[in-house]
Structure 1
Amino acid sequence: MGQEEQSTVGVEEEEEEERHEISESWSQRKQTLILEISSKLINGDLEAKIEAARDIRNLVRKSSSSSSSSSSSAAKTRLKLGASGVIPPLVTMLVSPNPDARQASLLALLNLAVRNDRNKVKIVTAGAVPPLVELLKFQNGSLRDLATAAILTLSAVALNKPIIAASGAAPLLVQILSSGSVQGKVDAVTALHNLSSCKDNATPILDATAVPPLINLLKECKKYSKFAEKTSALLEILSNSEEGRVAISNLEGGILTLVETVEDGSIVSTEHAVGALLTLCESCRDKYRELILKEGAVPGLLRLTVDGTAEAREKARILLDLLRDSPQEKHLASSVLERIVYDIATRVDGADKAAETAKRLLEDMVKRSMEHSMSRIQQRAASCTPSNIQST
């Protein structure tokens, strides 16, 4: 038995040495390939440049699957390619009249930018944003989708955000929310979400024209998804302007969609949705109170005062106070939740039986809230699938 164990150990050592030799050999070939690619992009004709751009994509993808430490290998490959001078000629190819050149360069730049902030900054510094914005205007779905993905990827870096925000990309991304492919819409929302977090923006990147497509997308998606979180965040931002508030309230299902997000959303999307509703009601209680009540907002807001985040609970309490008939009137009930239920009970059974009815309503609401929360947890567990950004 001991001899067998020694024999097995020897075989494992030989296999490890062989893997090491293969890895070293691949690294040497890769370095040679990088030099060849750089030379073709800088000095070659258009066909050679297209071939080199495609080689970049293939090289990064091969690095991603070449070893158990593929993530590290791909990262090193991106870093070495970025340092080899390939980015400026790739950016120049974005304005080529040849569609193959544009597509090949877009794919190469995307693969260089993924998970590499240094390359993202280099790409923007090399002047990629204006041609990418022009590509967002294309009717060619494939090129427009790739340009949208590139804007999304580049906008993830703080240094790039003000440059992209000032480029005129935002209105074109808003158009994609209505007319783009499914993936294009997802990427456009995420890009707009990235840009909206830029504090250096001189003017807001969104106006009221973004409300209809955002409401429609939020209406159609799962309210607890990451996509809903970003969409509801953008709507909360838009609710800060009078034009945005009018657009939300005038659009059929606008307020209802926010109410449904309060009821069924994730912790994040719920917080944004209640924030948008609160902003509406605070801006003009007389105008928005009835509109919000008509859509049945109270049950979701009551639940939120129990199981929301600290900020969401506070927003829900303030909004519930604004939704009452007489927000300044003092009641014997000590909490906002009890005051609201007491108001409802008074209207249902009269002042004499209000206290007893309110107690029953509170008990029923707590029970329903717990059942609803458990149902949402089960739904999320059943539908949740991990997603990782892969090389294009």
Structure 2
Amino acid sequence: DEVLGDLQPVIEELGSSNSASRRHAAERVRRLAKSSTRISMTLVKMGAITPLIAMLDASANDKGVQHTALLALLSLAIGTNVNKAAIVTAGAVPKMVKLSQESGGTVQEGLAAVFLSLSALDVNKPVIGHSGAVPALINILKQGASLKAKKDALKALCNLSIFHGNVKVIVDANIIQSLLDMIYHPELVETAVDLLGNLAATEVGRRAIVDKQDAVLILVDVLGWADAPQCQEKAVSVLMTMAYRSRALRQAISRCGAVSALLELSILGSSLAQKVAAWILDCLKQD
């Protein structure tokens, strides 16, 4: 295969002592990996990952090399779980965490995108969550130079929260108030509520949410967003999780004036929202 025959020189160039040559090779890896999953997997088998990770250690004045290496790793990760696992196993995450502490702008955007892709694989979630990535992602979420970086960081955190062993790490990083604030950001609200829902599925997550004075009130407020039915569904689902787990939480929901909002949602909401709202109302009546 003529294309596959061209790959060995690319791998060799990744290990060049010349920065411009390494960057050129990383760009070629990015393009080749995007062109075919078979080529992407072959590049990994031939050893592309290790030199790309090494490029993340480039000097602070060579952000172009770092960004290009991140984009190459992203292209290798997309579309193949084998490559996602291989990138994490090869030690990319600690390098990415270190890089996040030293960088901004396009490098942060690249980091968020790679973390998002890698965190989609279940076997990677515990490793990423306990490698210092959570504070790095929260920093991008709060300080990210672009909306895309913020969205990718938030989605990556949402992926990580699916593994319950990561919830305490996420909660301990003081993210709850930021998530509540993001509920009023039109581009971030759905993922923010998804993440709250994942956290609420655990005891430590529920406690952290309820400890924020306005948390339940904000979620109840979302129930009235008739022009955002998906947000209503997500918010009422979080409240359902909380109501199911604790009588004290059901009482907190009632005190926030949720009954009228739930009644309205049970009549005028989407099919799913109606069912969930009716279930919560039934729970509240039993108390």
- Residues paired across the two proteins, number: 278
- 2:27 touches 2:72 (CA, 8 Å); kept in 1? yes
**Structure 1 residues 152, 121: CA separation in 2 closer, same or farther (over 3 Å shift)?**
same
Give the drift of 1:92: 0.9
| C-alpha separation in 1, matches of 2:252 and 2:233 | 27
Unaligned 5+ segments in structure 2 are none
Q: Which secondary structure does the structure 1 equivalent of 2:281 belong to?
A: helix
Structure 1 position 48, deviation (Å): 2.0
> Relative to structure 1, is the Cα distance of residues 151 and 256 closer, same or farther in structure 2, using a 3 angstrom cutoff?
same
Alignment of 1:222-233 (within 5 A): 228-233=189-194
Contact 1:255 1:291 in 2 (8 A): no
Q: 1:320 aligns with which of 257, 277, 281?
A: 281
Equivalent residues of 1:75, 1:116 under 8 A apart: yes
Partners of 1:279 and 1:264 lie apart in 2 by: 24
Q: Deviations over 1:41-65 (max 9, x none)?
A: 235433322221122123345x3xx
Query: SS at 2:255's partner residue?
Result: helix
Answer yes or no: is 1:47 the counterpart of 2:20: yes
Asked if the contact 1:259–1:295 (Cα under 8 Å) also holds between the matched residues in 2, the reply is: no
| Structure 1 pair 262–280 and aligned structure 2 pair: CA distance change class (3 A) | farther
Quick one: distance in 2 between partners of 1:291 and 1:268? Answer: 18
User: Residues of 1 paired with 2:247 and 2:123: CA distance?
Assistant: 35
Q: Which amino acid aligns with 1:193?
A: C
CA distance in 1, matches of 2:228, 2:239: 12
Alignment check: 8 A CA contact 1:137 1:144 kept = no
Alignment pair present for 1:198 and 2:193 = no
Q: 2:123 aligns with which of 155, 159, 165?
A: 159
- The structure 1 residue matched to 2:135, chosen from 141, 150, 171, is 171
Aligned to 1:147: 111
Alignment of 1:238 onto 2:199: yes
Q: Residue 203 and residue 211 in structure 1: after superposition, are their counterparts in 2 closer, same or farther (change >3 A)?
A: closer
Question: Of 40, 43, 50, which residue of structure 2 is paired with 1:78?
Answer: 40
> Partner letter of residue 93 of structure 1?
M
Q: Which amino acid aligns with 1:54?
A: E
Which residue of the partner structure matches residue 271 of structure 2?
Answer: 307
1:296 is aligned, of 261, 267, 275, to 261
- Helix, strand or coil at the partner of 2:6: helix
Q: Which of 235, 248, 252 is the matching residue for 1:283?
A: 248
**Partners in 1 of 2:114 and 2:148 — Cα distance?**
13
Task: For residue 185 of structure 1, report the CA deviation from its aligned partner.
Answer: 1.7
* CA deviations over 1:144-182 (Å, ceiling 9, x no partner): 111111111111112211110111211232233333221
Once residues 219 and 235 of structure 2 are traced to their aligned partners in structure 1, the CA distance between those partners, rounded to angstroms, is 13
| Greater Cα offset, 131-140 or 120-129 | 131-140
Cα offset for 1:206? 2.1
C-alpha contact (below 8 Å) 1:60/1:111 kept by paired residues: yes
Report 1:370-389 matches (<5 A).
none
Alpha-carbon distance, 1:237 to partner? 3.2
1:258 Cα offset (Å): 3.7
Q: TM-score, normalised by structure 2?
A: 0.82
Contact 1:281–1:289 (8 Å) recurs in 2: no
| Alignment of 1:183 onto 2:183 | no
Residue 183 of structure 1: how far off its partner (Å): 0.7
Q: Distance in 2 between matches of 1:279 and 1:245?
A: 14
Shift of 1:129: 0.3
Asked if the contact 2:223–2:236 (Cα under 8 Å) also holds between the matched residues in 1, the reply is: no
CA distance in 1 between partners of 2:258 and 2:217 (Å): 13
Q: Name the residue aligned to 2:56.
A: 94
1:361-376 equivalences in 2 (<5 Å): none
Deviations along 1:258-291, one digit per CA (max 9) or x if unpaired, are 4246884338625534425636973344444121
AA in 2 matched with 1:124: V
Structure-1 residue corresponding to 2:8? 35
Q: Over the residues paired in the alignment, what is the CA RMSD in angstroms? A: 3.1
Conserved? CA contact 1:219–1:257, under 8 Å: no
Instruction: Give the equivalent residue in structure 1 for 2:72.
Output: 108
Q: Deviation string for 1:76-118 (max 9, x for gaps)?
A: 2212211111110111111121322211211111111111211
Structure of larger gyration radius: 1
User: What SS is found at the alignment partner of 1:219?
Assistant: coil
Unaligned ranges ≥5, structure 1 = 1-26, 64-73, 329-392
Aligned identity (percent) is 25
Alpha-carbon distance change, 202 to 186 in structure 1, aligned in 2, over 3 angstroms: closer
- Residue 250 of structure 1 corresponds to 214
Tell me: higher relative CO, structure 1 or 2? Use CA pairs within 8 A at least 6 residues apart. Answer: 2
Deviation at 1:39, TM superposition (A): 1.1
